[in-house]
Chains A and B, each alone.
Chain A
Amino acid sequence: MVPLNYYLILSAIVFAIGVVGVLIRRNLIVVLMSIELMLNAVNLTFIAFARHLGSMAGQVAVFFVMAVAAAEAVIGLAIIISVFRQSRTLDPQNMQLLKW
């Protein structure tokens, strides 16, 4: 059986990669994809702990994270489409209507 720590380290690495994506990409769709990647890294941690502790609560938490992630993706993409209609760009650098 694979030790728990391996899964935890793997999910930490994937989470850090997702953070890089959010910080460096200048395309809103890819930023959203990186957020999905981070959510999945956390899900992996939940499942690994559920297996290790023999508790179903981790798997149920992943179920709810999936529901929230689906809602987040839908709303995020709708906002992206709405922004694109307004300003014809996907670059978050150009979205500074509320910038002081």
Chain B
Amino acid sequence: MNAATAIFFVLAGLLVIASLMVVFLRRVVHCAIALVTALLLIAILFISLQAPMVGVLQVMVYAGAIMVLFLFVIMFLNPGALEQPSIAWWGLAVILSGLLGAFLVPLLSHYEASDNPVTSTELFGSPDVLAKSLFGEFVLPFEIASVLLLVAIIGAVVLGKREHGSDGAA
């Protein structure tokens, strides 16, 4: 086992533990912190997979923006009451997800990985190459994504607006 594999196993173990903490911790804020940990570990995995640009974006967008949004909402709503777990659903859900895992893992591990993966250049995954691909081949989805984000902004503002404000103009 070389160093890269050892590092991968450390990261993978930490990622699984953090994911389990997201699901099984009872306080919402603790779940959010565990999710930040998991997202940062995934960002490290991205960087180790020769995707530095996507890794940096992962830290900025997920661990930065989205998690701050989650923490804001937790702070705003202050869900102090701990939820009561129902044992029947727990058993059913764990069994179902175990089946899903038992289905997915053999399915994916039977993928015929070619022995000699494509030897990539040093530039693979750099912002330069990513941008060329993004604005060349994938420029139409890029523009559609910008429209999607605009719709999301407007939708969030409309949904977050008070129903009966002081002014009747809206």
Report the Cα distance A99→B13, complex, angstroms.
Answer: 41
Number of interface residues, chain B, beta carbon within 8 A: 84
Are the CB atoms of A19 and B19 closer together than 8 Å?
A: no
The 8 closest A-B pairs by CB, nearest first: A54-B118, A23-B93, A71-B152, A78-B159, A8-B108, A16-B101, A21-B23, A12-B104
Size category of the A interface is 35 or more
The listed residue (B107, B120, B159) touching A54 by CB distance below 8 A is B120
Are the CB atoms of A54 and B152 closer together than 8 Å?
A: no
Number of A-B contacts (CB under 8 A): 234
Is A60 an interface residue when CB atoms closer than 8 A count as contact? yes
Q: Which residue of A lies closest to B110 (CB)?
A: A5
Nearest Cβ on chain B to A86's Cβ, whole angstroms? 9
B133-160 toward A: CB 8 Å interface, digit per residue (1/0)?
Answer: 1100110011001001101110110011
Are the CB atoms of B19 and A79 closer together than 8 Å?
A: no
Known: A17-B97, A20-B23, A90-B77. A33 touches B148 (CB 8 A): no
Interface residues of A: mostly helix, strand, loop or mixed?
helix
Is B169 an interface residue when CB atoms closer than 8 A count as contact? no
Identify the A interface with B (CB < 8 A).
Answer: 1-21, 23-27, 29-30, 32-34, 36-37, 40, 43-44, 47-48, 50-54, 56-57, 59-60, 62-64, 66-71, 73-75, 77-82, 84-85, 90-91
Known: A4-B111, A47-B46, A77-B73. A66 touches B93 (CB 8 A): no
Nearest Cβ on chain B to A4's Cβ, whole angstroms? 5
